[in-house]
Structure 1
Amino acid sequence: MSQALEKVDELPGVHARISTTKLGKAKAVISKIALVALAISVSTYFVKRPFGIPIGKAFEDATTSADLCPQVDELVPEKNGVIWESLQDTYSTEEFKARAVDWLGGAVRIPCVFRLQFRVVCHLNLELTIVNTYGLLYVWKGSDSTLKPLLLTAHQDVVPVLNTTIDEWQHPPFSGYFDGEKIWGRGSCDDKSGLIGIMSAIEVMLEGGFKPTRTVVIASGFDEEGASSLATTMLERFGENGFTMLVDEGSGYGESYGRVIAVPGIGEKGSLNVRVKVTSPGGHSSLPPPHTSIGMLAELIVQYEKNPFEVHLTRGSPTYKSAQCMAQHAPGISPSLKKHMLLAEHCDGALRAAEQELFMNRAFMSLVGTTQAIDIVEGGVKVNALPEQAWAIVNHRISTESSVSATKVRDIELLESLASNFNLSYTAFGAHISDVDAPSYGTLTLSDAFQGGLEPAPVTPSGTDAAPFQLLSGTIKATYNSHRNIPGSDTIIVSPGIMSGNTDTRFYWKLTDHIFRYGHQEGAGGGSLPSGVHTVNEAISANNFVEIIRFFTTLILNVDESSLP
């Protein structure tokens, strides 16, 4: 091995090799003169690159040719191949599309929380347990009870529709209207398409005579990601780590930088809602102080927005892995970003250079770091009365590399100087920050706005030895290809990624280590959610909904015949 490649061992990174022992032994036998000679040799071999990155040609060539985002072949069911082929033919017909439109349109027409009574076929073959009034737990029993079940989840209800936005809808929000191309209405994407897609796949498989070897469990929550009661029931029935893998709603696939990329979420940010409350003496508005409670609160809010969280791309994180996949497989990535990202695994300078370019995309930067958004503000009761209190709520989405406690510490420190300037007694999350006995003009209080914070989710394994991720990847490719009647395993790239929001999976961490947030919805930007989710004019193409049914069919059949425990 050349001296240059020996030097690479000392560069930091997830896969950096341990070289300190080798170096220690070398120092014991090599004289100072020899070390100087070695340093001179290395310095002449390496070439200085932008950002001060010393990169030897052998190192650069080896690194840029490394497979940092390995892909699997499409995974088509073999043992269950006959029924799979039969159902692919069925799903390609206009008759089935009409049937699928009827299923989803009917579900959309039931506003908000609903208990959808699926077709008789499902009720005759699946065991249903009602949990906490509206939660639905379906169990499709397999013939081999030693195999861990597959868990598929979705929520039944939808985000409310505000009266002020109804006139902006192209079609009424609960119409389930089909215009020949799209099914319109609240829940068509989020997340009735997921739930109806699962149940439609099961119904058609039952009609085809399929009997599973591995049990399949469907957990349908309510209260828009409020599945804690379902989690409790499943823990009691199946135990911790009782499922082989879990697929919940999430991102999908779409073209990004010239390549179709699917992005299963292998992680989820944490969250914290911080109430920032200011109190001060009241009185008549004709005799105002220099700063009212509202004025001081405004300064505090400005302090937040002037000081966003420091954000860095971290090796091994879901967003880092996603960037690696784009760099290796997307032709539209700039040459500089491609090179820096491929070298970033072992070189800090390259990582910072890649980060700088990636963060020009504000949305990607938001996925990487902890964010803050001031979403609610209130204060004052009357124009001639000084406000005795004012408060705002700051919503944080916490980076997968951070924590609730770190976020609280940062917020406390951020507002400390202003609390002192305004002479406010400062209390944060139950602890006195300022001197409790010191005289003050008013108070500043930070607290959990609702039910405390949520830590970032455990990151699901996604390497080449992570069988569930590899199975999901092959399933995505088989679905994509069969829906378009095209061959090949490079027609779509599968990349690990992260969910921008939170899903029911936050209640399910104890059920399995292999949790994926993926719905196989077609969207712009490599798995971004379709337009209309949580706002007006939510719609999904009927063609994509049929593909979602095809995805769940392929997934169930692949997991059923897999060697997963």
Structure 2
Amino acid sequence: MQLKSQNYTLLRQGEADDLPQSAARRRWNRRPIWQWIVPGLLAVTVVLALVITRAKVEKDVKWDHHSNLPACPQYPALKAASSDREKLEKEVKDAIDSDKFFEKSLKNMQGAVQIPTESFDDMGPVGNDTRWDIFKDFHKYLEETFPLVYSKLEFTPINTYGILLEWKGKDTSLKPYLFMGHQDVVPVLKVTESRWKYPPYSAYYDGRFVWGRGASDCKNVVIGVLEAFETLLEKNFIPERTIMAGFGFDEEISGPQGAQFIARHLEETKGKGSIDLIIDEGGLGIKDINGATFALPGLGEKGYFDARITVETAGGHSSVPPDHTGIGILSQIISAIEANPYEPDLTPVNPYYTTLQCTAQYSPDMDSWLRKTIQKALSSKKAAKTVADYIASQDISQRYLMQTSQATDLISGGVKINALPEKVYAVVNHRIAVESRVKDVRANLKSVIESKILPKFPLSLDAWGEVSGNTSASSVGQIFLENFDEPLEPSPVSPFDTDAYKIFTGTIKQVMGEDVIVAPSLMTGNTDTKFYWNLSKNIYRFAPVRDGGRENAHTVDERIGMKEHVEGVRFYAQLILNSDRS
């Protein structure tokens, strides 16, 4: 109706007035066909343009989800707010930087490393498995080494060996800070002991490093936090806000009896969202990248999913085998999975996206083409994909910051050399990209098997209860897809514009140097923080150790540099001093 009335007004006004209504209609109906089509096309074009523009705007908003922030936001180093605070901070710094403290800290670290608090994948419940008993020795050691911590702070043992310390603050309206770490270490295999430069539990000090299992993962964190507490208590310091420490004892086996119990206790006693800031081990520490120094805290973690693939076929004598045994079919499934890897992708959802923006902005020695392409990725998905593909082709460790990984780590099948295997299985480990979910990995595995395997073999597929493929009597067997253990979705990504983040990063620059660029990053592994998501949105995984100061975690010749360790103690102490800001 709008088009009709508009064209009607194009008639000479007088002629239109003289014509009866029916004649005007006839004049309108006799107009050339092109006068009908052109306005219609114009209208359709306008509508389509509006739709496309709106879609593009929505797409851009979704792409640039940090549009209110700079590409790499930096917050200034914190400074003492008063002369009294400045005096206290100087006293604490001088105490930690002293030769006396260094020698004491060295003994503290050596004593901690010398206690082999190993955790094993097959550990039974606390109280039923005597391998947990070593933690009694470790607890006794901590109580003797940090007398003020254990006499002045509230200590709550959680599930026997979990440690929860609470340092009551003056202002109960301020939410607490929580420092995390874990007491356990990965086992030292007997066959590797001879390969160590120094015995793995000797805690030998060579004038630079303390050598031993757990030195850098993460007894340096546990001891460093407690040393910071003890030093401040020696100065009779009382924090404004409550300061807490929570140390699990089975992080290396996913924390089911340690951190999970501590987190549950905190939720029950403090409530959800009750912690303002959580600092745990992890992150990439402090590194020099293309001519600049970066602190790289982990603001998120990839997800975790183990999928078991089982092939069941008829048994029989190996002298009359089918063309493909169950092992042969399973091997083709594994081959098909490996031939169809996930693609690297780079989106603003991923903290590594911000890491790259920071390096592009602040690294003077970065290749100019890469710098420009990274910066272009702020508004271009195509540029972001170019960056992702390029980096993935250059560095495998960085590739998996941008894509879901898949690795077949377990395989089992066959019991006798002359008997066809009736049941074989493999387990594929996935570390899920932050943009993806467990259901996406399941769907991908199902799709690969349905498209690459089922057309070749008359098999049925049971994928988490959903059956497809050949389900008739002619089927020669079945393929099952199921969970191997409890999956974990990618973590929430912590913000980098909150007061807690500004205090945290301002402390990094205050202690490590104002020239340090803090770049949000991502962890490919998981820490105990996976149990703490309900307690705080501000969760940062950061071991305050410079590059080269910690080496070989989880392997032969693990060690921690004492100079770097002491600097880490300063960071923890200063963050506690800064905790009264809000």
Alignment of 1:85-484 (within 5 A): 85-113=90-118, 114=135, 115-116=138-139, 117-118=142-143, 119-224=146-251, 225-226=254-255, 227-251=259-283, 252-360=285-393, 361-417=395-451, 418-450=453-485, 452-463=486-497, 466-481=498-513
Measured after TM superposition, the shift of residue 437 of structure 1 is: 4.0
Using the TM superposition, name which of 237-246 and 378-387 deviates more. Answer: 378-387
- Residue equivalent to 1:44: none
Measured after TM superposition, the shift of residue 208 of structure 1 is: 1.4
3-state SS of the aligned residue for 1:433?
strand
Using the TM superposition, name which of 74-83 and 419-428 deviates more. Answer: 74-83
Partners of 1:295 and 1:163 in 2: CA distance:
34
Partners of 2:444 and 2:81 in 1: CA distance:
53
Residues 77 and 554 of structure 1 are in contact (CA less than 8 Å); yes or no, is this contact kept in structure 2? no
Measured after TM superposition, the shift of residue 362 of structure 1 is: 2.1
Structure 1: which 5+ runs fail to align?
A: 1-30, 40-65, 482-488
Partners of 1:443 and 1:81 in 2: CA distance:
71
Q: TM-score, structure 2 length as denominator?
A: 0.81
- Residue equivalent to 1:513: 537
Partners of 2:372 and 2:70 in 1: CA distance:
13
Percent of pairs identical after alignment?
39
Partners of 1:458 and 1:301 in 2: CA distance:
31
Size of the aligned set, in residue pairs, is 487
Partners of 1:228 and 1:220 in 2: CA distance:
11
Which of the residues 486, 504, 523 maps onto 2:547? 523
In structure 1, what residue type is equivalent to 2:267?
L
Partners of 2:470 and 2:420 in 1: CA distance:
26
Residues 345 and 403 of structure 2 are in contact (CA less than 8 Å); yes or no, is this contact kept in structure 1? yes
Measured after TM superposition, the shift of residue 284 of structure 1 is: 2.3
Residues 152 and 219 of structure 1 are in contact (CA less than 8 Å); yes or no, is this contact kept in structure 2? yes
In structure 2, what residue type is equivalent to 1:323?
L
Q: Does 1:551 align with 2:571?
A: yes
Measured after TM superposition, the shift of residue 157 of structure 1 is: 0.1
Partners of 2:537 and 2:562 in 1: CA distance:
33
Residues 138 and 218 of structure 1 are in contact (CA less than 8 Å); yes or no, is this contact kept in structure 2? yes
Measured after TM superposition, the shift of residue 311 of structure 1 is: 2.1
In structure 2, what residue type is equivalent to 1:235?
E
Partners of 1:305 and 1:530 in 2: CA distance:
33
Measured after TM superposition, the shift of residue 438 of structure 1 is: 4.8
In structure 2, what residue type is equivalent to 1:441?
V
Which of the residues 82, 85, 107 maps onto 2:87? 82
Partners of 1:430 and 1:197 in 2: CA distance:
49
- Residue equivalent to 1:57: none
Which digits, 9 at most, give the CA deviation of each residue in 1:99-143, with x for residues without a partner?
Answer: 111111111111125243332111111111111121111111111
- Residue equivalent to 1:8: none
3-state SS of the aligned residue for 1:421?
coil
In structure 1, what residue type is equivalent to 2:274?
G
Which of the residues 562, 565, 572 maps onto 1:542? 562
In structure 2, what residue type is equivalent to 1:84?
E
In structure 1, what residue type is equivalent to 2:457?
F
3-state SS of the aligned residue for 1:246?
strand
- Residue equivalent to 1:54: none
Partners of 1:530 and 1:449 in 2: CA distance:
33
Which digits, 9 at most, give the CA deviation of each residue in 1:302-332, with x for residues without a partner?
Answer: 1111111122111242111111001101122
In structure 2, what residue type is equivalent to 1:343?
K
Q: Does 1:533 align with 2:536?
A: no
Measured after TM superposition, the shift of residue 288 of structure 1 is: 2.0
In structure 2, what residue type is equivalent to 1:389?
K
Distance 1:293 1:149, change over 3 A: same
Partners of 2:154 and 2:249 in 1: CA distance:
19
Alignment of 1:40-51 (within 5 A): none
Residues 156 and 165 of structure 2 are in contact (CA less than 8 Å); yes or no, is this contact kept in structure 1? yes
Measured after TM superposition, the shift of residue 358 of structure 1 is: 2.4
Measured after TM superposition, the shift of residue 278 of structure 1 is: 1.1
Partners of 1:530 and 1:369 in 2: CA distance:
27
Measured after TM superposition, the shift of residue 173 of structure 1 is: 1.6
Which digits, 9 at most, give the CA deviation of each residue in 1:327-353, with x for residues without a partner?
Answer: 101122210111111122122333233
Q: Does 1:73 align with 2:76?
A: yes
Measured after TM superposition, the shift of residue 149 of structure 1 is: 0.4
Structure 2: which 5+ runs fail to align?
A: 1-40, 50-68, 119-134
Residues 76 and 554 of structure 1 are in contact (CA less than 8 Å); yes or no, is this contact kept in structure 2? no
Q: TM-score, structure 1 length as denominator?
A: 0.83
Residues 368 and 399 of structure 1 are in contact (CA less than 8 Å); yes or no, is this contact kept in structure 2? yes
- Residue equivalent to 1:22: none
Using the TM superposition, name which of 348-357 and 363-372 deviates more. Answer: 348-357
Using the TM superposition, name which of 108-117 and 368-377 deviates more. Answer: 108-117
Partners of 1:160 and 1:211 in 2: CA distance:
39
Partners of 2:386 and 2:443 in 1: CA distance:
29
Partners of 2:439 and 2:319 in 1: CA distance:
43
In structure 1, what residue type is equivalent to 2:527?
T
Residues 274 and 395 of structure 1 are in contact (CA less than 8 Å); yes or no, is this contact kept in structure 2? yes
Residues 175 and 275 of structure 2 are in contact (CA less than 8 Å); yes or no, is this contact kept in structure 1? yes
3-state SS of the aligned residue for 1:520?
coil
Partners of 1:201 and 1:156 in 2: CA distance:
17
- Residue equivalent to 1:13: none
For the pair shown, the structure with the greater C-alpha radius of gyration is: 2
Which digits, 9 at most, give the CA deviation of each residue in 1:526-558, with x for residues without a partner?
Answer: xxx943111111100010110111110111111
